[in-house]
Amino acid sequence: MVEIGYKLFTESHGAPELVKNARLAEDAGFSFLSISDHYLPWISNHGRAGFAWCTIGGVSQATSRVKVTTGVTCPLIRYHPAIIAQAAATAATMMPGRFEIGLGTGESLNEHIVGDVFPTSEPVRLDMLREAVSIIRLLWKGGMQDYSGMYYTLDNAQIYELPEQLPQIRISAEGPMSAEVAGEIGDALIHFEQKPEEVIQTFRASGGEGKSCMIETTVCYGRSVDEAKRTAYGWFPMAANKGGLN
């Protein structure tokens, strides 16, 4: 069954407006909401970039039916996986059965801000994501946990607020390599419109058969095609970027 969702675009709206939009989207009949999790806007013209996890708390209280996912969170550099495990668990306690976490390998745009080097190698980023997801699932088992891996360490870490129903982990994939990893480690897929057929086919062949697939597409409307093109170019020029350029 196809469901239609609404994007809470943190780069163009402040947190109070996003919470209001979430409530209006639920009232309008949308099935789910996806919220971006960035430190910086894509372009300065967007003018916003609030902390998504504060906004998620507000959305949890302003809505009662609609599902919510992050689209997407990068648990590699700016966030340690243990922090995302805790944040997602808390969000799920506030929205029982209707919160899931979307995870991906991110962009240098947001991850460079803490001073660490953003890996240019996609295989390295995907290995980091595999390890991050393993840590998140480990912490969601409950109890005191230690972990020493290639990229991350846990020392006497425990999440004390776990929901009765754990969130699904939806993995972002833009190409066949990441789609294969998504099928291996994810409960669901999210794709951002470049190669949907190829990505979904690879995801399903790699362990994702029968799992939910979400595709995000950007649309623009206006009084004419030319007006819509001008608006799209002014507000979302990065939609023209292909492959790893973003």
Comparing CA positions, the residue from 103, 92, 82, 105 lying closest to residue 59 is 92
198 φ, ψ (degrees, to nearest 5):
-65, -45
Question: What type of residue sits at position 74?
Answer: C
Residue 66 has which token pair? Answer: 């609609």
The DSSP secondary-structure symbol of 193 reads S
Task: Output the six-digit token pair for 29.
Answer: 């009949």
With H, G, I as helix, E, B as strand and everything else as coil, classify residue 32.
strand
Measured from the Cβ of residue 49, the count of other Cβ atoms closer than 10 Å reads 17
* Spatial distance between the Cα atoms of 74 and 27, rounded to a whole number of angstroms: 30
Please tell me which residue in 17, 107, 122, 216 is annotated as part of the active site: 107
Q: Which residues have CB under 8 Å from 87's CB, separation 6+?
A: 53
Tell me whether residue 38 is one of the annotated catalytic residues: yes
Respond yes or no: is residue 107 known to be catalytic: yes
Q: Which residue has the tokens 């390890």?
A: 131
Among 11, 38, 111, 174, the active-site one is 38
**Residues known to be catalytic:** 38, 107
